[in-house]
Structure 1
Amino acid sequence: MDLSKEWYRSEFVNQEMLEQHRVIETEYTFYDAIANGNIEYVQDNCINQTFTNPDGMGKLSEDKLQNIRYHFVVTTAMITRYCVHAGMEQEQAYSLSDFYILKMDKCRTIDQISRLHDTMCLDFCSRMNELKRRQILSKPIVLCLNYIYSHIHYRITIKELAEYLSLSESYLSKLFLKEMGIPLSHYITDLKIEKAKNLLQYSDYSIVEIANYFSFASQSHFIQVFQKKTGITPYKYRIMYFRTNWEAPKKSES
């Protein structure tokens, strides 16, 4: 199939209409910011809604919604490869890419795709930020973080971690505070709350099920800790954010 004539006509029309793509260095800067874990830069980019700004956005489809879908896939693919090149484990990066593209496929509006784009970019960026931090951490703290991450749904104690690392509890606590800037127990609680927020937003699990899953002493204890960390109860958080990035039927709160 010879498309050369059609291409030359398209090129002529674009030049006549002064349609130009964004400067490529702008895109590279954004991808680099994500790969380097520059959360502040990425947040500013999202706040400015650069992704959906029509100025310089290539036309990949005559349909505006489909055009955004294509751009989302391209952006996700580029971010994935930048992050792998910068050190993210390849399988994790590609799994994240697949996850967000599948979620995007369920979106029904440009606004939903835009918000999912921001979530995706900040997720990759936060993971890269954590990766960069770990690269300058001592081996015991890296092992400690890995253990916490893989056992987050259990009740994790400092004693348990110290025994796992063959360190004293006091030494581990001081080392963790020095390198992470936060007490070990606070880090564990914060991570549990972040994971709980994800389940409240993206799953149908009840509050008591989530409390049990993360081994809180009781549902009331979970609610108390959650409210202290976020300023609102788990129930109110779910009402505000439940599946806000794509359309799906809500399940009544139990």
Structure 2
Amino acid sequence: MSYREEWRLYEASDRSDELIHRPMTEEFLFYQAVSNGDIEAVKRNCEQERFMEKEGVGQLSRNQVTNMKYHFVIGTAMITRICCQNDMELELAFRLSDFYIQKLDDLHTVQEIQNLHDEMVIDFTEKMRQQKQKDVTSKHISACKDYIYCHIKERITVEQLALEYGVSTSYLSRLFKKEVGVSLSTYVRNKKIEVAKDLLKFSQDSMIDIANHLSFSSQSHFIQQFKEVVGMTPKKYRDSHHRVKWDKTVSRNSTDMIGTN
């Protein structure tokens, strides 16, 4: 019997005694607390041992320890993505994720996994809290960052943003440089390069596709800008960092989800 046939048989069977999965809203509220740096809410969740609860949690393995490890990996991946969406540096987020998931190899009890989970979520939360404390900006600059985040695939200019928020280009340029430390155009370019780095790592998109996807004026302009920021060409970066071969559609959906990649 094929896996598809086995699934159809499973789907049609009586599963009235099967656990009902907990609402996704609850999970996302927890992930949101982590990404918002809400350390008190996250600690309360850990104290309640919500990660340990069997009720509403899917069974991914018949072995309890393996099941917990699978859920740990899924939770870490979700937290990583949501923290990236909320402006945690991508490399920092991925390094944290890799570090904690690798630690699972050495764990053999449910309690050990619970302890590692609590340490992982608190670590992510603390880093997000510290970042948000540093990122105190004016209303206009905060709005500009949000706009850039939502329109990263488009061509974005100072004039366009000034018109959007009803201020002069000179005022917006001065304020942005003062509060962020770099010019607005440099900030936009750097954010686009962050997206490009993830596409190079996680997708099969060609250089011209990535350049067009992020509204660079040409492939050569994209390559020149990438090398200026990263210190190597996009091809060299892909050769040394490429991780998974995703279908283009999946990678672009993931990009839209986190607002960068």
Opposite residue 98 of structure 1, the aligned amino acid is D
Q: Structure 2 vs 1, CA of residues 63 and 116 (structure 1 numbering), >3 Å: closer, same or farther?
A: same
The aligned residue for residue 46 of structure 1 is 46
The aligned residue for residue 123 of structure 2 is 123
Opposite residue 20 of structure 1, the aligned amino acid is I
How many Å apart are 1:17 and its aligned residue? 1.2
- 2:5 is equivalent to residue 5 of structure 1: yes
- 2:90 is equivalent to residue 107 of structure 1: no
Q: Structure 2 vs 1, CA of residues 54 and 12 (structure 1 numbering), >3 Å: closer, same or farther?
A: farther
Q: Structure 2 vs 1, CA of residues 60 and 40 (structure 1 numbering), >3 Å: closer, same or farther?
A: same
How many Å apart are 1:137 and its aligned residue? 7.1
The aligned residue for residue 209 of structure 1 is none
Uncovered stretches (5+) of structure 1, i.e. residues with no partner: 139-254
Taking structure 1 as the reference length, the TM-score comes to: 0.52
Q: How does 1:126-145 map to 2 (within 5 A)?
A: 126-136=126-136
- Same amino acid, percent of matched pairs: 41
CA distance in 2, matches of 1:13, 1:61: 19
Taking structure 2 as the reference length, the TM-score comes to: 0.50
How many Å apart are 1:13 and its aligned residue? 4.7
- 2:76 is equivalent to residue 87 of structure 1: no
Opposite residue 26 of structure 1, the aligned amino acid is E
Q: Secondary structure at the match of 2:57?
A: coil
Q: Structure 2 vs 1, CA of residues 122 and 65 (structure 1 numbering), >3 Å: closer, same or farther?
A: same
Deviations 1:51-70 (A, max 9, x none): 01000111111111100010
Q: How does 1:165-244 map to 2 (within 5 A)?
A: none
Query: What is the Cα-based RMSD across aligned positions, in Å?
Result: 1.8
Opposite residue 134 of structure 1, the aligned amino acid is K
Q: Structure 2 vs 1, CA of residues 111 and 71 (structure 1 numbering), >3 Å: closer, same or farther?
A: same
How many Å apart are 1:71 and its aligned residue? 0.5
How many Å apart are 1:100 and its aligned residue? 0.3
Opposite residue 81 of structure 1, the aligned amino acid is R
How many Å apart are 1:9 and its aligned residue? 3.0
Q: Structure 2 vs 1, CA of residues 55 and 117 (structure 1 numbering), >3 Å: closer, same or farther?
A: same
CA distance in 2, matches of 1:26, 1:132: 23
How many Å apart are 1:12 and its aligned residue? 4.3
- 2:20 is equivalent to residue 15 of structure 1: no
How many Å apart are 1:79 and its aligned residue? 0.4
CA distance in 1, matches of 2:14, 2:98: 33
Q: Structure 2 vs 1, CA of residues 11 and 99 (structure 1 numbering), >3 Å: closer, same or farther?
A: same
How many Å apart are 1:10 and its aligned residue? 2.5
CA distance in 2, matches of 1:87, 1:111: 32
Q: Structure 2 vs 1, CA of residues 9 and 112 (structure 1 numbering), >3 Å: closer, same or farther?
A: same
How many Å apart are 1:4 and its aligned residue? 3.1
Opposite residue 83 of structure 1, the aligned amino acid is C
Uncovered stretches (5+) of structure 2, i.e. residues with no partner: 139-261
How many Å apart are 1:104 and its aligned residue? 1.6
Q: Structure 2 vs 1, CA of residues 93 and 14 (structure 1 numbering), >3 Å: closer, same or farther?
A: farther
CA distance in 1, matches of 2:100, 2:137: 30
The aligned residue for residue 26 of structure 2 is 26
How many Å apart are 1:14 and its aligned residue? 6.7
Q: Structure 2 vs 1, CA of residues 128 and 20 (structure 1 numbering), >3 Å: closer, same or farther?
A: same
Number of matched residues? Answer: 138
